[in-house]
Chain A
Amino acid sequence: MTTLYFILVGVLMGNIAVGLIRILRGPTAADRMLAAELFGTVTVAIILLLAIVMEKPVYYDVALVFALLSALAVVAFVTRGWPNPEPGEQDDGRR
């Protein structure tokens, strides 16, 4: 079973590496933000798997706090960071 978890952690790290391309290249702000949110979700999954592999249930708490706080970042982004789009110009915010 542990081998399976290790493989899953490896796949998730691959996800982060692919997401990194979106974070670094964009092109729009929303792409980058979504990639950062993907990082958040993947990180929660990795921490949960590590908690099982390392047999430390304490890390479930860390994953819980992570899952809650990643909501804050995306709400801050839509309300404050994202420039209110003009009518007719829906996409392509700041790069």
Chain B
Amino acid sequence: MAVFDLILGLLLVVLVWKSLSVSDLFGAVISFMAFGLLMAVAWVRLEAPDIALAEAAIGSGLTGALLFSTLGRLPHSEARQPVVSRTVRNGPGYWMTTGFWWVLAILLSIAFLFSLLDLQTPGLGGLLQERLPESGVLNPVTAVLLNFRSLDTVMEIAVLLLAVVVAWSMGTVVWPVKRTLPSPLLPGFVRLLTPFFLLVSFSLLWRGSHAPGGAFPSGAVLAAAGILLLLAGKTTRICPRFMFWLRWILAVGLLVFVFAGVSLMVAGYGFLVYPEQWAGALILLIEVSAGVSIGAMLMALYIGGEPDIHSA
């Protein structure tokens, strides 16, 4: 198994190096996607199934689709060009910048090694297992994300919502309508696959309370289903009423989370301090709303701007 890990690590380093140094953008995107795939295997080897799920859903799938669509929007000549032109590469500024980052990277690695030396060996895992029955769920990762450190998760969802708000404020995008498709195979393929995406998304959401899964991977799979429909040209007409509901769906995760926190505070428990008998139900409620919101937000980020109602 050590040989396997060694080869895996080596391949990862090669792919990272290639995705940073390769001269054309398409090669960089492909290397990055392959890196995401192997990184998930690395997380499996490190026995971190939650991170492996997130990496599988976001790292290789959604990011790959996002980067390909970005490449497709660039003019053909621009995507062909080397990322760093040759004249820049030979100038003194380039060497100073790369030298600076190399020195910084080496210093950070040394600092990291030193911090490894005085790592507290038991960590917080034992404490977490001890307190797990109080959390209302059986999966330790969900317990940390939605109970013990739920404030961090509120902030994460808020940051995602903020990103969507910023993307929408940049301007409107033309809502993709039906257009000529490269293959007649595509609509049928998507029609076959979408139910599976929805099924997996909801099963991940439900499993989150007792096994790896939860709102983030589930939302990512949901967003992937939406993007797939969009790419296959299966879109509906949008109208002001649709936009009204879309805004509510985008915000519902954060609203439910904050509302739950504030009402607990009013009831005298403190912000997001769950009473033990309600913890399971509250976590389920928050997780479902957050999962739907995260799916909508990731898809909105993929579209990259406020959909223009007048374009449809």
A and B associate in one complex: yes
Taking the nearest CB of chain A, how far is it from the CB of B248, in angstroms? 26
A29-B26, A59-B44 as given contacts; A73 in contact with B231, CB under 8 Å: no
A47-B40, A64-B200, A65-B217 as given contacts; A71 in contact with B193, CB under 8 Å: yes
Which B residues are in CB contact (< 8 Å) with A59? 44, 49, 52
Question: Residue of B at shortest CB range from A81?
Answer: B68
CA distance A6 to B214 in the complex (A): 31
CA distance A20 to B10 in the complex (A): 12
Asked if A68 and B231 make an inter-chain contact with CB atoms under 8 angstroms apart, the answer reads no
Binding site for B on A (CB under 8 A): 6, 9-10, 13, 16-17, 20, 23-24, 26, 29, 32-33, 35-36, 39-40, 43, 46-47, 50-51, 54, 56, 58-59, 61-62, 64-66, 68-73, 75-84, 94-95
B164 within 8 A of A: no
Asked if A16 and B11 make an inter-chain contact with CB atoms under 8 angstroms apart, the answer reads yes
Asked if B65 and A10 make an inter-chain contact with CB atoms under 8 angstroms apart, the answer reads no
**Which of B7, B26, B41 gathers most chain A CB within 10 Å?**
B41
Asked if A9 and B4 make an inter-chain contact with CB atoms under 8 angstroms apart, the answer reads yes
Asked if A10 and B30 make an inter-chain contact with CB atoms under 8 angstroms apart, the answer reads no
Which B residues are in CB contact (< 8 Å) with A20? 11, 14-15, 34
Which B residues are in CB contact (< 8 Å) with A70? 60-61
Asked if A72 and B38 make an inter-chain contact with CB atoms under 8 angstroms apart, the answer reads no
List the 7 closest pairs (A to B, CB-CB), nearest first: A69-B61, A80-B72, A81-B68, A76-B65, A73-B64, A76-B68, A80-B69
Binding site for A on B (CB under 8 A): 1, 3-4, 7-8, 11, 14-15, 18, 22, 24, 26-27, 29-31, 33-34, 37-38, 40-41, 44-45, 47, 49, 52-53, 56-57, 60-62, 64-65, 68-69, 71-73, 76, 79-80, 181-183, 186, 189-190, 193, 196-197, 200, 204, 207, 211-213, 217, 221, 224, 227-228, 231-232
Asked if A73 and B33 make an inter-chain contact with CB atoms under 8 angstroms apart, the answer reads yes
Which B residues are in CB contact (< 8 Å) with A32? 26-27, 30
Asked if A69 and B45 make an inter-chain contact with CB atoms under 8 angstroms apart, the answer reads no
CA distance A87 to B64 in the complex (A): 28
Which A residues are in CB contact (< 8 Å) with B15? 20
Q: How many A-B residue pairs have CB under 8 A?
A: 168
Taking the nearest CB of chain A, how far is it from the CB of B210, in angstroms? 11
Taking the nearest CB of chain B, how far is it from the CB of A78, in angstroms? 5
Asked if B212 and A68 make an inter-chain contact with CB atoms under 8 angstroms apart, the answer reads no
Asked if B76 and A94 make an inter-chain contact with CB atoms under 8 angstroms apart, the answer reads yes
**Which of A26, A29, A56, A82 gathers most chain B CB within 10 Å?**
A29
Asked if A23 and B231 make an inter-chain contact with CB atoms under 8 angstroms apart, the answer reads no
Asked if A79 and B181 make an inter-chain contact with CB atoms under 8 angstroms apart, the answer reads yes
Taking the nearest CB of chain B, how far is it from the CB of A1, in angstroms? 16
CA distance A43 to B60 in the complex (A): 12
A39-B38, A80-B72, A81-B71 as given contacts; A94 in contact with B26, CB under 8 Å: yes
A33-B30, A68-B224, A73-B60 as given contacts; A62 in contact with B53, CB under 8 Å: yes
Asked if B30 and A36 make an inter-chain contact with CB atoms under 8 angstroms apart, the answer reads yes
CA distance A29 to B80 in the complex (A): 11
Asked if A72 and B212 make an inter-chain contact with CB atoms under 8 angstroms apart, the answer reads no
Asked if A16 and B49 make an inter-chain contact with CB atoms under 8 angstroms apart, the answer reads no
Asked if A13 and B4 make an inter-chain contact with CB atoms under 8 angstroms apart, the answer reads yes
Taking the nearest CB of chain A, how far is it from the CB of B92, in angstroms? 30
Asked if A72 and B227 make an inter-chain contact with CB atoms under 8 angstroms apart, the answer reads yes
Which B residues are in CB contact (< 8 Å) with A73? 33, 60-61, 64-65, 68
**A56-B47, A59-B49, A79-B231 known, 20 other contacts, Cβ within 8 Å:** A20-B15, A23-B18, A23-B31, A23-B34, A47-B52, A56-B49, A58-B49, A64-B200, A66-B60, A69-B62, A70-B61, A71-B228, A72-B65, A73-B60, A73-B61, A75-B190, A75-B228, A76-B65, A78-B183, A80-B69
